[in-house]
């Protein structure tokens, strides 16, 4: 029976149905689906995503260029022109609209394809059985009837039931609010069971904390519990600071545009100018003022930035986060693998007296070999330290590691004897010990013994060793063992691990500091180990705060303390998140770098979540960026690219609010006192097209070191001040052009429109070279592509009135003297913009 014919009564309460019956109903087997059947189901049920996704085809993307209400109104008005048989204007306006759309489409299509290819490199995969073999497929291709294989760190891709499970614990706080992971086991539960009571079910959006399992997928995508409630969940902020800034800017310009359009249309009609021409003129004016290219420019900039960041080993999972990446001024990270080599080795396994002990190493090896929970470098180091396996040992049970107990126990049977072997944080292991193995004899653990153990622990920690404890006891035979059996243990000895600092890490941290990024270390290691690593990587007089000390601080106190702290030691996952939120409260843009299961909440909470390619799925899914190599050098280059991307996006914004706003305001004003329209609608649209062409290349422009050396944040108030200074400056020279043409040169209507078109395009083009940099323009070199496209557009602008198209577009050839006078105005405008820019930024710096 196909998945589509699955009985509705079972679909609504499948947790109460026997697994074998579900397999039959879903038309699958314990060995999984075959590839053909899976592909067929994918076509019918759709992709396993929270929203119905349709592939954006080239045609669809092209049509998206016309979704702006203003463009649609303009198209309607153009059709009206055609209806009244003004064919020439209708064809020209349509040609310009389609030309602009095509230009934007080509750039966006290339950008979206490139971004999709990069994102595919780090998409979350799901392990499934297909054709009886294990395969890794994109999680969105999981279908009902799939058999998925789950292990610690896996994101659960869809809803289903367990077929097999071993020490399987799941974190489902996102759905139920449960603080700790819950154990899941195969079986059935009653049909009315609540979500928390469905102990045999797995749910999309949750993650595996420890153990392993094999599960049957029953529902996918929007049919999952997560899918049905996704609209009420706020796992991530709905928009980044950058997106919010873009929206506010768009709202600001749109409000100004609407007021101008309504007023201009009403005034033109009042002065008895042709209604249709007035309508087209007003709408064209709106198109000229509205930053309709802004979405395309942003997409192109972000996609280009993502490609360049990928070259440096940074894969962007969320394009809109690039701005936050460039704005980041604090980076929180663990030390293992980032500041250190990440190749942990077991240097010593010592007994009570600190002497190397084969028995301690043997117990540690058994514990590491038989544990099936979270894979970690400490267990790998233990296993690597023993060349030959221990024979004759058999695993009976396991008490998985968790971040509260900070220890893990396995029950092993050897020669008829069952022994519980516990390994974990020294303090947590000692808390369940009543005896110690001293000189091959078991003795009661006294205060003197504990003081001696603490002394050695302190000494080793100060040398940079991470110290774990090992303890054991013989246990009685019983079906299963739990945390209650971790009691009255005999302390066996110490495990000493060492992870040396990376070569050149001091220089890397110094470079990040030079970029305005302050590094804060968040580690589970104790204060002494943290102090040692801080000293070895160049932190002078580092301020250290422990998790225990943090618990004694109120949230308000932590806001201020966290800002002054360099290292947070002995912290748990909840405390990590609290640190990040405290730093954000103080106005910082906070990045967090993590790769473990317990890092997901912190990655979500940070402004910039950074993970690595070999991280667990739940960490990669929570991250905004994935590093192909766990190296701060990679991050250093990524930050630089993020800042270049943001800077180039701002260049277009500055251009839009200076030249565009000024020009359109000038045209609007001129239309009030001129007996004719200052520009024809088709001429306004042509201005937009010719200025859009070079602006499309802004993504390739060079960026001054000034924008890279320190973080910059989106500031709508700053942009508004910029607009109120440079917009009127543009209008001053526009009105100067009007005066020159009308009163000095006594220009005709066609000459006025041609001269104003000429000055408007050239001034808008060349002012970009002034506002694109804070430096004097001759000290900041634009890209060759930007120069080339600007020169091409300028040539077309100058040549149009003299071409066969000139008359069709309403232009007339101007005398050379006219052209020279207009060029002088453009030159003086450029110089004025350059001088005004220097005054503007000097005033801003003095205010700061």
Task: Tell me which residues are annotated as active site.
Answer: 334
Which ranges of 403-442 does DSSP label H, i.e. alpha helix? 426-430
For residue 331, list its beta bridge partners.
519, 591
Largest CA distance in the chain: 113
E strand or H helix that includes residue 435? strand 433-438
Q: Which residues contact 668 (CB under 8 A, 6 or more apart)?
A: 260, 263, 264, 285
Q: Please, are residues 145 and 158 in contact by the beta-carbon 8 Å criterion?
A: no
Q: Please, are residues 159 and 203 in contact by the beta-carbon 8 Å criterion?
A: yes
Residue with tokens 């701002």: 650
Euclidean distance between CA atoms 33 and 37, whole angstroms: 6
Q: Please, are residues 519 and 462 in contact by the beta-carbon 8 Å criterion?
A: no
CA distances from 297 to 550, 686, 692 (A): 45, 19, 10
The vertex-31 CA angle with 28 and 35, nearest 5°, equals: 70
Pairing of strands 590-593, 314-316: unpaired
Which tokens is 405 given? 């107990």
Q: What counts of helices (H) and strands (E) characterise the chain?
A: 32, 23
Kindly give the interhelix angle for 681-695 and 275-289, rounded to the nearest 10 degrees. Answer: 10
Cα 273 from chain centroid (whole Å): 52
Which tokens is 400 given? 């998985």
Q: Please, are residues 758 and 796 in contact by the beta-carbon 8 Å criterion?
A: no
Q: Whole-angstrom distance between the N-terminal and C-terminal Cα of the chain?
A: 71
Euclidean distance between CA atoms 235 and 240, whole angstroms: 13
Which tokens is 662 given? 């000024």
Euclidean distance between CA atoms 302 and 99, whole angstroms: 23
For residue 216, list its beta bridge partners.
147, 161
Euclidean distance between CA atoms 430 and 646, whole angstroms: 52
Pairing of strands 518-522, 330-333: parallel
DSSP 11-38: HHTGGGS-HHHHHHHTT--TT-B-HHHH
Residue 332 main-chain phi, psi, to 5 deg:
-100, 135
Q: Beta-carbon neighbour count of residue 493 at 10 Å?
A: 27
Which tokens is 723 given? 């607009």
Within a 13 Å sphere around the CA of 429, how many CA atoms are in the beta-carbon half? Answer: 28
Q: Please, are residues 218 and 45 in contact by the beta-carbon 8 Å criterion?
A: no
Kindly give the interhelix angle for 69-83 and 87-120, rounded to the nearest 10 degrees. Answer: 150
DSSP 380-400: HHHHHH-SSPPTTEEEEEEE-
Cα 573 from chain centroid (whole Å): 21
Q: Please, are residues 796 and 701 in contact by the beta-carbon 8 Å criterion?
A: no
Residue with tokens 């473990």: 596
Residue 405 main-chain phi, psi, to 5 deg:
-75, -35
């Amino acid at each position: 029976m196909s998945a589509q014919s699955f009985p509705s009564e079972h679909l609504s309460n499948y947790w109460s149905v026997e697994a074998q019956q579900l397999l039959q109903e879903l038309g699958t087997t314990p060995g999984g689906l075959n590839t053909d059947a899976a592909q067929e189901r994918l076509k019918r049920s759709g992709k396993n995503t929270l929203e119905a996704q349709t592939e954006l085809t080239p045609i669809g993307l092209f049509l998206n260029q016309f979704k702006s209400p203003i463009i649609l109104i303009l198209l309607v008005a153009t059709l009206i022109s055609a209806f009244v048989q003004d064919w020439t204007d209708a064809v020209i306006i349509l040609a310009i609209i389609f030309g602009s759309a095509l230009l934007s489409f080509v750039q966006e299509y290339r950008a979206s394809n490139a971004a999709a290819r990069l994102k595919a490199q780090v998409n979350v995969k799901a392990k499934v059985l297909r054709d009886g073999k294990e395969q890794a497929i994109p999680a969105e291709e999981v279908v009902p009837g799939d058999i998925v294989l789950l292990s610690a760190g896996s994101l659960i891709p869809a809803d289903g039931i367990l077929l097999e499970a071993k020490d399987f614990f799941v974190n489902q706080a996102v759905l139920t609010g449960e603080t700790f992971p819950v154990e899941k086991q195969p079986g059935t539960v009653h049909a009315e069971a609540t979500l928390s009571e469905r102990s045999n079910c797995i749910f999309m959006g949750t993650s595996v904390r420890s153990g392993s399992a094999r599960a049957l997928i029953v529902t996918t995508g929007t049919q999952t519990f997560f899918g049905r409630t996704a609209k009420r969940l706020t796992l991530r902020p709905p928009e980044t600071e950058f997106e919010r800034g873009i929206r506010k800017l768009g709202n600001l310009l749109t409000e100004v545009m609407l007021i101008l359009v309504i007023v201009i249309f009403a005034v033109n009609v009042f002065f008895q100018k042709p209604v249709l021409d007035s309508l087209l003129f007003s709408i064209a004016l709106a198109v000229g003022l509205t930053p309709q290219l802004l979405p395309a420019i942003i997409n192109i900039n972000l996609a280009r930035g993502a490609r360049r960041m990928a070259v440096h080993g940074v894969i962007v999972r969320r394009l809109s986060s690039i701005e936050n990446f460039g704005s980041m001024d604090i980076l929180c990270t663990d030390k293992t693998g980032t500041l250190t080599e990440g190749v942990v080795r077991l240097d010593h396994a010592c007994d009570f007296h600190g002497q190397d002990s084969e028995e301690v190493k043997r117990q540690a090896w058994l514990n590491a070999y038989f544990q099936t929970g979270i894979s970690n470098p400490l267990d790998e180091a233990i296993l690597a330290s023993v060349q030959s396996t221990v024979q004759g040992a058999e695993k009976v049970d396991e008490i998985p590691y968790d971040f509260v107990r900070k220890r893990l126990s396995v029950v092993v049977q050897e020669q008829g004897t069952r022994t519980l072997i516990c390994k974990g944080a020294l303090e947590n292991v000692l808390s369940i010990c009543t005896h110690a193995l001293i000189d091959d004899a078991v003795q009661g653990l006294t205060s003197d013994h504990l003081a001696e153990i603490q002394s050695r622990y302190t000494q080793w920690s100060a040398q940079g060793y991470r110290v774990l404890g090992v303890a054991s006891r013989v246990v009685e035979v019983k079906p299963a063992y739990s945390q209650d059996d971790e009691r009255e243990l005999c302390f066996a000895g110490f495990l000493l691990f060492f992870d040396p600092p990376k070569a050149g890490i001091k220089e890397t941290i110094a470079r990040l500091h030079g970029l305005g990024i302050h590094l804060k270390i968040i580690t589970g290691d104790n204060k002494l180990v943290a102090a040692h690593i801080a000293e070895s990587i160049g932190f002078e007089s580092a301020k250290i705060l422990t998790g225990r000390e943090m618990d004694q601080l109120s949230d308000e106190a932590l806001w201020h303390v966290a800002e002054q702290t360099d290292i947070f030691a002995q912290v748990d996952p909840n405390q990590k998140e609290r640190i990040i939120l405290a730093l954000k409260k103080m106005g910082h843009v906070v990045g967090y770098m993590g790769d473990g299961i317990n890092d997901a909440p912190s990655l979500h909470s940070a402004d910039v979540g950074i993970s690595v390619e070999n991280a667990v799925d739940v960490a990669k899914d929570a991250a905004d960026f994935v590093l192909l190599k766990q190296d701060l050098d990679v991050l250093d280059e990524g930050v630089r690219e993020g800042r270049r991307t943001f800077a180039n996006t701002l260049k277009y914004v500055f251009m839009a609010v200076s030249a565009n706003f000024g020009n359109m305001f000038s045209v609007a004003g001129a239309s009030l006192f001129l007996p004719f329209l200052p520009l024809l609608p088709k001429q306004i649209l042509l201005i937009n097209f010719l200025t859009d062409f070079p602006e499309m290349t802004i993504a390739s422009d060079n960026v001054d070191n000034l924008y890279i050396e320190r973080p910059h944040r989106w500031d709508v108030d700053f942009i508004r001040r910029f607009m109120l200074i440079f917009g009127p400056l543009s209008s001053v020279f526009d009105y100067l052009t009007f005066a020159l043409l009308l009163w000095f040169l006594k220009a005709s209507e066609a000459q006025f429109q041609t001269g104003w078109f000429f000055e408007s395009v050239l001034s808008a083009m060349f002012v970009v070279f002034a506002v694109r940099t804070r430096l004097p323009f001759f000290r900041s070199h634009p890209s060759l592509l930007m120069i080339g496209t600007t020169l091409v557009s300028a040539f077309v602008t100058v040549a149009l009135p003299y071409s066969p198209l000139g008359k069709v577009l309403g232009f007339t050839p101007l005398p050379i003297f006219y052209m020279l006078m207009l060029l002088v105005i453009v030159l003086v405008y450029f110089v004025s913009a350059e001088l005004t820019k220097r005054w503007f930024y000097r005033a801003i710096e003095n205010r700061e």
